[in-house]
A and B are shown apart, each in its own frame.
Chain A
């Protein structure tokens, strides 16, 4: 389930570069970024806002083309069969469809309406798994934000994806719901063989969920550090206090802050020495 030396590579991007805009307003979103996603592995990308995390995710999803670089992408046929699934910060549910309708939507959009009964059965069982069996015929506006995101999670899983691309899926939720959703995601993922790429800016969330955390820097966006998380699965609330978790947290934190101007280490030292009365 988790990564191994022999794990096969599912997706590989080499020296990907992308710029937005022209002239003085030109922004280098990604520069010479290389990334590899191994089959069955849970990888997170952590980085400051605007570092191009979401852009990278969209490139992998095939929604944007990089200007240069080499992709061994998920091809069109894989997309059509729903082998790549996306999840966003907002649940992106259609207000005119019920909970069940929104889960089945993935099959409709992927053009898999040949076996509606099988897909519906799977949707129902997934909704039961995420605790929404009583809300199957409700409309999105009747659900709480956490419930809506559960529907989105069920939709992302309904076609049995090979690759799940999750773009800060829980960052709009409150802290408690978010933690609950983290364990929910882990539980569901452990039942599948899916490869996951999880974008977040919450270090704790990234470590709790991932086999591997990639740290990205901003302008230009590139991967500056890669940290493996050696914690056993399934992880639980207690894992947070595991010394290995704390060590990983420190490592990701320093890698992240070495790349951004917010965590300016010298000035922090100046501040603490001032406070200490030096």
Chain B
């Protein structure tokens, strides 16, 4: 027990060391070369800014986190419903696929100003932008997962008189969870992008707004402080998805680990 704890603790040394080294080099370079804080503030300065404006940062972080989270949830929910419909109804697939593709070939950010006009300068427009970005990767991966179930499993279910609904819920959906989770991880980053881009374009809250606001005063320390906050948020968000994955996909991880060993 003690031994394994020590080994676990040791695992954290390389990432901490690399992170520490990066900050140290940054700090030393800024001091030795006497770089102007307008161009590149030293980490200590960023830290000071972070502490000084911590209340403000906490407030903006909460806003951005909410937008990204709501965006991800909404985007995933729409993507799931859409992939079920695409899977079950050929006509729906024919009708909707070109639309999805047409939407996807244009960078979603292009739609951001329009969505801002439609949904206002508040949080709802950011949620919508974020959801729009999250939609596509989830649809693609969900469909891949839903469709890749072994045909014999479906035959088995049909031979026992299972309805399509039951086949979807009891067999296809659990089977597709690993694919969906694989897509969910990069989508967390996309959700953050959606929220921050929305805040860049218009609004008075959020870390994206804080960055733009700092830009007006060419306050790079403020921009870095907001970036650090975004990093922490992103990590937390990512960690939440990872945790959900561990809870839902215990069997899958176990299977992967076994197959690695064998």
Contacts and interface: CB of A to CB of B under 8 A. Distances in A.
Contacts of B174: 94, 96
Interface in B22-77: none
B75 to A, nearest CB: 25
A90 B166 CA distance: 22
Interface string A133-176: 00000010110000000000000000000000100000000000
B152 A110 contact: no
B170 A95 contact: no
B160 A79 contact: yes
Contacts of B11: none
Nearest to A106: B160
Interface residues on A, range: 20 to 34
Contacts of B159: 61-63, 79, 84-86, 165
Interface string B150-176: 101101111111100010001100110
A141 B259 contact: yes
A82 B160 contact: yes
Contacts of A61: 155, 159
B3 interface: no
Contacts of B155: 58, 61, 63, 86, 88
Contacts of B252: 95-96
A90 B152 contact: yes
A110 B162 contact: yes
* CB-based closest 10 A-B pairs: A80-B161, A110-B160, A96-B251, A109-B160, A79-B161, A141-B255, A92-B152, A109-B162, A86-B159, A88-B152
Given A92-B153, A142-B258, 19 more contacts: A62-B159, A63-B155, A82-B160, A85-B159, A86-B156, A88-B155, A88-B156, A90-B152, A92-B150, A92-B156, A94-B175, A96-B252, A106-B160, A109-B156, A109-B160, A110-B160, A139-B254, A139-B255, A141-B255
11 contacts: A61-B159, A90-B152, A92-B150, A92-B156, A97-B251, A108-B170, A109-B156, A109-B157, A111-B162, A139-B255, A142-B258
